[in-house]
Amino acid sequence: MSYTLTGRIQSRLVATLPPLLVALGIHRWWAIELVALMLVFGVALDICVYDRVLDYQPGWLAVPLGLLELGLIVLAIRMPVTWSSLGLYALGWVTAQICAHALFPRLRLEYAQSGGELERIGAFVAGAVAALTLAAVAGAVAVIPPTVHLHGVVQGPLLITHAQTLVGGTVRGGVVIRADHVTLKDVTVIGGEYGVNVEHAQHVMLDRVRLIRFKMDAVRALDAGLMVHRCSISTPATPLANGVLITYSMGRPMSMVEKCRIVGVREGVTTHSSMVDVVDNDVVGTTLHGISLSEMSMDTARGNHVEGARGVAILCMDHSMCDITHNTITGALVDGNQNPSRQGVAIESYFYAEAHLRHNTVVASPGGVKALDLGVFTE
């Protein structure tokens, strides 16, 4: 088809209506952002490139042009390529094809000979789509959680009950999070019963948080969904303090503990009745368990390095189902001689737990890999 510039832009805007409605319907910022970017890049290309270069556009060209526009969006804003985002983009592309080849020619007989122009109703819808997209972006920007930069030392405990992002600084006495969409970034937390205590909240992000001198757990999550990324946990205030504890969170979105360094605590990462990915962490010198996945949890432990764990390095227990792969366990230590389950075991499946093992490396761990009390391993 030989589009006029007006025809290209009107057709594009009207065909964006379905993905825009989907984006508004699912109420996700990434979706609104993606639709807005589809429009911005598309219209920019229409004006600057397509209208000048393409006197005539055969149907097949929609495929490479669609891939080009997707590539530009991904590169320009480093958009994470997820199935959801690809699906929404694909919806927009397919809708555009259906509109251009079937719907518009059906509804407006002169569509092709008018170069894709849609007359008054089409122009109105196109304008409405542009306005709606702008409004959606503006609305989404308006409700983005505020960012608070902490300076110096703040005396806690700090109670967070609204969505927000805290950046930098030091908090003494711990942080309590009781709101969704809270992010802590580059914050140091000193002391507190719990370093960070997340209760009944989800979409919580702890990014590069450093925790020391906590009394019970560095991070404790109860009925919560959170992402702990690149944390540093060390120097607990008591020998009974744990690293990351995620508990009774099965009803929340999955949690993740990734790329953390956890040193000298009782249990490095512990889960109870939760779904957690424990990935690429360094867990060193724990006194009870390195990583404990327990109480009907459904977890993954992948790519972790557990070093010098006393008793057990990685434990899957109590009816849990664990996917334990690509971990490296070195120097698990024997803990007394009474309990056979704590004889420097690298990976243990205990009490009706089912652990799937693959590609783990075990070094200098006298207890080896053990299944006890009806726990099993699968391969």
Partner 1 sequence: MRCAIVGSGLAALASYATLRHAGVPADEIAVFGTHADPTSVWRERASSIRQRRMRSESDGHLAAAGFPGLAVREGTASAVARSLTNRYHPTVDLFLEHAAGVRERSGWDASFVERRVAHVRAVDGGFLIDGEGQFAHVLIATGHPGLVHVPGAVHAYEPHDYAPQVAVIGAGMAAATEWRNARAAGSEVVSIRRREPVRRPLNVPRRYFSKRGLAGFHRLPPPARLAVLHELEQPSYPPGPEWDVDLTVADAPPPGFQVIAATGFRKGWREDAVLADLVATHDLATHDRLLDLAPDSTVPTLTDDRRTLSIAGVAARWAFPAADTIAGAKYAARAFTRRVCRTR
Whether 157 and 192 have beta carbons less than 8 Å apart is answered as: yes
User: What is the amino acid identity at position 192?
Assistant: G
What is the spatial distance between Cα 317 and Cα 304, in angstroms, rounded to a whole number?
A: 18
Alpha helices in 82-235 (DSSP H): 83-98, 104-107, 119-142
For 35, the enclosing helix (H) or strand (E) is: helix 29-45
Please list, in sequence order, all residues whose beta carbon lies within 8 angstroms of the beta carbon of residue 140, skipping any fewer than 6 positions away: 29, 32, 33
Distances (CA, A) of 103 to 22, 93, 94, 112, 128: 19, 14, 12, 12, 19
Please list, in sequence order, all residues whose beta carbon lies within 8 angstroms of the beta carbon of residue 73, skipping any fewer than 6 positions away: 34, 37, 38, 41, 79, 89
Q: What is the DSSP letter of 99?
A: I
The nearer residue to partner 1, 54 or 237, going by C-beta atoms, is 54
The nearer residue to partner 1, 7 or 191, going by C-beta atoms, is 7
**From the CB of 61, what's the least distance to partner 1, in Å?**
9
**From the CB of 36, what's the least distance to partner 1, in Å?**
28
**From the CB of 107, what's the least distance to partner 1, in Å?**
8
What is the spatial distance between Cα 313 and Cα 307, in angstroms, rounded to a whole number?
A: 8
**From the CB of 8, what's the least distance to partner 1, in Å?**
10
The nearer residue to partner 1, 108 or 356, going by C-beta atoms, is 108
Count of residues for the chain? 379
Give 132-162 as a DSSP string: HHHHHHHHHHHTSPPEEE--SEEES-EEE-S
The nearer residue to partner 1, 100 or 209, going by C-beta atoms, is 100
Whether 232 and 257 have beta carbons less than 8 Å apart is answered as: no
Query: How many helices (DSSP H) and strands (DSSP E) are in the chain?
Result: 8, 29
Q: What is the DSSP letter of 333?
A: B
The nearer residue to partner 1, 104 or 214, going by C-beta atoms, is 104
* Dihedral, 101, 107, 110, 115 alpha carbons, nearest 10: -50
The nearer residue to partner 1, 110 or 373, going by C-beta atoms, is 110
Where on the phi/psi map is residue 169: left (φ > 0), alpha (ψ -120 to 50), or beta?
left
**From the CB of 117, what's the least distance to partner 1, in Å?**
7
**From the CB of 96, what's the least distance to partner 1, in Å?**
14
Residues that bind partner 1 (CB under 8 A): 1-4, 7, 55-56, 58-60, 101-103, 105-106, 109-115, 117
3-state SS, residue 206: strand
**From the CB of 39, what's the least distance to partner 1, in Å?**
22
**From the CB of 33, what's the least distance to partner 1, in Å?**
31
In the block, residue with structure tokens 């669609």: 66
What is the spatial distance between Cα 292 and Cα 312, in angstroms, rounded to a whole number?
A: 9
Whether 214 and 192 have beta carbons less than 8 Å apart is answered as: yes
**From the CB of 303, what's the least distance to partner 1, in Å?**
45
The nearer residue to partner 1, 103 or 212, going by C-beta atoms, is 103
**From the CB of 105, what's the least distance to partner 1, in Å?**
4
User: What is the amino acid identity at position 72?
Assistant: L
The nearer residue to partner 1, 64 or 152, going by C-beta atoms, is 64
The nearer residue to partner 1, 119 or 373, going by C-beta atoms, is 119
The nearer residue to partner 1, 106 or 162, going by C-beta atoms, is 106
